[in-house]
Structure 1
Amino acid sequence: MTHDSRQARWENRTEAPLAVASLLYLAAYAVLVLASGLPGAGRGVCLAVIFAAWAAFAVDYAVRWRLSGQGLRFVRGHWLDTLVLVLPLLRPLRVVHVYEAVQRRHGKPRLALHARVVTYAGLSALLLGFTGALAVYQQEHAARGATIRTFGDAAWWASATLATVGYGDETPVTPLGRLIAVGVMLCGLALLGAVTGAFSSWLLQVFAREDDERPPGR
């Protein structure tokens, strides 16, 4: 059995459980950040879920690295997975791949390319907006001179930033908050570019099909 086939079998078996672990990680982190009056036992449970989920991510990364047989080339070729391991808050973005896995198992036709791009971009924007708002709120709400005081402020800021609008009424003031803001800005530009490119490609295909169907001489 080749390295690729063993790695593919591992990924097919672990994709759904890791997606659940990703959602549990995000839920535990959200409770930890938003529930200010959480008792010590509740905080302990949230931290246990967070560390257990991260341990599952680390084991998955190590196993896939081992099965690939690529050595350090695996790190260079899977830089996004490496980044997600370092910044596990981005891990819930992997949830968008569960749809593909379910479709492959049931042999059902997938959505068209343009529909998949728009769907995945929309899901990614929602997850990135929520995680970005959580992370910024955690860093900013108690900082001196902060304009992001509530989670509602953080959600509004994340929406404006992802949409590349940037009203400037809510801005991070801490160094880590600004670093998170840079990441959200880059993700917003990437998502906007993906959706715009997919929509432009769809329009070109529609116009080309109309030209092909038009009678000669018109």
Structure 2
Amino acid sequence: MDDDTRTARWERRAGTPLAVASLLFLVSYGVRILGEGLPGPVLDLSLAVLYGSWALFVVDYVVRWRLSGEGPGFVHRHWLDSLVVVLPLLRPVRIVRVYDAMQDRRQEEPRLPLQARVMLYAGLASTLLGLSAALAVYHYEHNAPDASIRTFGDALWWAVSTLATVGYGDVVPVTPMGRLVAVILMGCGLALLGAVTGSFSSYLMQRFARAGDDVGPPGR
């Protein structure tokens, strides 16, 4: 299908620039949140990078929508991409796709096994998602009345315990936006944990099956 080919070609070309934009977005957002004492020009530059990166995300979404030929159905069929445009802090997670782009350019090199790739993607996604959530929660919580998340260190600890589905409860968000970030992080944490667990279990099953084949049936 021509539309599919054009969409795939666009994603290959735009993958690396968008990954760089995702990192720049995360860094500039971090500067805006954590760099309260920085000079005004630095904060203005970070804000410009923030909106510039967001504009690239919107352009990418619109181009892929047009190339798909799906019309309005593209929004709900690609609901995660639609959500990323509304909540661009989730965008840095997509940097894990750079690995596939690099492997496509080096087809002579062996790719990682599927299970290893899933665990690698989940690890990178968890790191970036946790950092994004920590920044967002710190932004909304640290000046809120009765807040228990007062420092960025508190926010990082909360993000790690939430992603690990432990939830000690020593620090919790109290604002509506902070709790919304918590709900998103909980859902993503469960999905990533399930992906890692399932991939590792599949890897072990394959190893056991190969070991059984090597042993062969017992002799008479």
Specify if TM > 0.5.
yes
Displacement of 1:133 in angstroms is: 0.4
After TM superposition, give the deviation of residue 40 of structure 1 in Å: 2.5
Partner of 1:34: 34
Cα displacement (A) at 1:6? 1.6
Q: Structure 1 vs Structure 2: percent identity of aligned residues? A: 62
Residue identity in the other structure for 1:60: D
Aligned match of 1:199: 200
TM-score (structure 2 length as normaliser): 0.95
Deviation of 1:42 after TM superposition, in Å, equals: 2.0
Per-residue CA deviation, residues 98-119 of structure 1 (Å, 9 max, x unaligned), is 0100110121321101100110
CA contact 1:32–1:38 (8 Å) conserved in 2: no
Q: Where does residue 66 of structure 1 map in the other structure? A: 66
- Give the drift of 1:95: 0.5
- Measured after TM superposition, the shift of residue 73 of structure 1 is 2.1
Q: Which residue of the partner structure matches residue 101 of structure 1?
A: 101
1:170-190 deviations in Å (ceiling 9; x for gaps): 111111101111111111111
Task: Give the C-alpha shift of residue 196 in structure 1.
Answer: 0.6
The answer to whether 1:148 aligns with 2:149 is yes
CA drift at 1:195: 0.6
Distance 2:76 2:36 in 1: 40
Correspondence for 1:10: 10
Shift of 1:215: 3.5
Instruction: Name structure 2 gaps, 5 residues minimum.
Output: none
CA distance in 2, matches of 1:217, 1:41: 76
Task: Quote the residue 1:131 is aligned against.
Answer: 132
Give the deviation of 1:72 after TM superposition.
Answer: 1.5
Instruction: Give the aligned CA root-mean-square deviation in angstroms.
Output: 1.2
Q: What is the CA–CA distance in structure 1 between the aligned matches of 2:207 and 2:95, rounded to whole Å?
A: 31
Q: Which runs of 4+ in 1 moved over 6 A?
A: none
Gaps of 5+ in 1: none
What is the CA-CA distance between 1:132 and the residue it aligns to? Answer: 0.6
TM-score by length of 1: 0.96
